[in-house]
């Protein structure tokens, strides 16, 4: 039986609910009423937010050395971070993602799965790839979540910036990365209880600020995009595909 736990920080944490993966055909048909919010760099945020643009640090082609999110996401992340117990910080790993990076991640994971399962059909490969990386899409009616600036990848860290143990690394494409994984294992040793409680702490801090979670990834949360509308029961999304406001784009708009 799942029970509310009190973790090392003294917070009462309810179990993470078990949800099914997204029905992508349904998600992609959710209407988007673009609200026009700007993208903001998370490096502007004060403590207790910390920022580590993981893909740029890993040398992923096309990755940018910053984590941009929509303004509403920025403010909700700050609120989530401020709700955490003393000594625990929110660490932002990725936000708005260039299409080129989305394509690279999808192709790389698809190739890795095909290498390990050479007899799998294309439908099977696609399903397993989409479990952890969404289809690269710039379609205004069905963009990749990270292309909207509404999807964000986060974890928890201590006051020194060291990530807490969440049971898997960020972006590990394995069953243990499913958000509810440790809720399903029954009696846990103390080390795994701490992992479970760390996930609970992150999940509830984000949920209380309006975020929804992608069930296959404990680190992935959405606000305002189609996945958020799907899991939050909203009639429409408010974030479509977004682009950075570069100097080149500004000049093109300003010069007549």
- 26 in a labelled binding site: no
- 181 in a labelled binding site: no
DSSP annotation string for 141-168: TS--GGGGT-EEEEEEEETTSPBPP-SS
Catalytic residue among 37, 71, 122, 217: 217
217 in active site: yes
Instruction: List strand residue ranges (DSSP E) for 62-139, in order.
Output: 68-70, 88-94
Residue 200 to residues 213, 219, 233: CA-CA distances in angstroms? 12, 11, 22
Specify whether the backbone of 49 is left (phi greater than 0), alpha (psi in -120 to 50) or beta: beta
Residue 212 to residues 89, 151, 203, 215, 251: CA-CA distances in angstroms? 19, 10, 9, 9, 37
- 234 in a labelled binding site: no
Going 36 to 205 to 102 to 235, the CA torsion angle's sign is negative
| Look-up of token digits 């999808």 | 106
Phi, psi of 252 (to 5 degrees): -65, -35
Specify whether the backbone of 10 is left (phi greater than 0), alpha (psi in -120 to 50) or beta: left
Annotated binding site for Zn(2+): 146, 153, 220
**Would you please indicate which residues are annotated as catalytic (active-site) residues?**
217
């Amino acid at each position: 039986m799942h029970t509310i736990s009190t973790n090392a920080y003294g917070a009462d944490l309810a179990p993470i609910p078990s949800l099914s993966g997204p029905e992508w055909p349904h998600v992609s048909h959710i209407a988007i009423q673009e609200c026009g919010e700007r993208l903001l760099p998370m490096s502007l945020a004060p403590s207790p937010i910390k920022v580590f643009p993981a893909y740029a640090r890993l040398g992923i082609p096309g990755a940018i050395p910053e984590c941009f999110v929509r303004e509403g996401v920025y403010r909700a992340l700050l609120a989530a971070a401020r709700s955490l117990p003393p000594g625990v910080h929110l660490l932002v790993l990725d936000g708005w993602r260039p299409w080129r990076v989305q394509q690279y991640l999808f192709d790389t994971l698809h190739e890795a799965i095909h290498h390990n399962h050479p007899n799998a059909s294309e439908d099977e490969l696609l399903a397993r790839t989409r479990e952890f990386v969404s289809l690269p899409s710039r379609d205004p009616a069905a963009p990749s979540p990270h292309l909207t600036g509404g999807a964000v990848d986060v974890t928890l860290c201590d006051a020194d910036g060291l990530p807490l143990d969440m049971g898997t690394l960020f972006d590990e494409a394995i069953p243990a990365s499913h958000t509810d994984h440790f809720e399903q294992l029954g009696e846990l040793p103390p080390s795994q209880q701490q992992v479970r409680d760390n996930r609970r702490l992150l999940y509830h801090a984000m949920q209380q600020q309006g975020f929804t979670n992608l069930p296959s990834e404990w680190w992935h949360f959405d606000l305002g995009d189609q996945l958020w509308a799907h899991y939050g029961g909203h009639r429409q999304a408010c974030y479509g595909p977004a682009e950075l406001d570069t100097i080149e784009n500004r000049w093109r708009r300003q010069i007549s």
